[in-house]
A and B are shown apart, each in its own frame.
Chain A
Amino acid sequence: EGQLLESGGDLVQPGGSLRLSCGASGFTFSNYAMIWVRQAPGKGLEWVSGISVTGAKTDFADSVKGRFTISRVNSKNTLYLQMISLRAEDTAVYYCAKAGMGLVGPLYYMDVWGKGTTVTVSS
């Protein structure tokens, strides 16, 4: 089924930057689209971003568009989320997840999840 391990979460000041990483194991990383989902303290789940197997296609929630960049290095089995211009409302646990697979391509539901990494934006 596979495993995912996020890292890079930290306390950062408003306006600051941070890069999250997600290492994958137990499945062929280069065959699957990948996703970032976040959860603010005491709140529900929020889709953040998704990326295709090659990295050619990406999409973002409106709340992070223009501030966050998603990328991947298939040779390193690693997914990234670069975050700039961070705001207090970006405070959350960030989960990395593996997308499902349909007959003709990826389907953006999440069938494997990491344990999450915590980002706190505060002065």
Chain B
Amino acid sequence: GENVEQHPSTLSVQEGDSAVIKCTYSDSASNYFPWYKQELGKGPQLIIDIRSNVGEKKDQRIAVTLNKTAKHFSLHITETQPEDSAVYFCAASIRYGGATNKLIFGTGTLLAVQP
């Protein structure tokens, strides 16, 4: 089955610096890769996603890159701010049961942005 690995598990950066979180997946059939931000005591919030027919996607300070050949995808946050501090999860989607897809999550990255 699908396995998603995520690194690093913790990341501390200075405000204004960039942060990069990397994930790898095992199932070449996966075709959708979302990233979620989870603040303490809350549910995950979708921040950006990418589909397998695209190599890069950007939304303001957030970008995601996908290398299908290497089965790697990464989250890039530029000009980090203290409010970016949270746990970030990557996920890979696999199809099962008709049109239904389920997400396999990475282990999470605790990002701390120091003021």
Specify whether A and B are partners: no
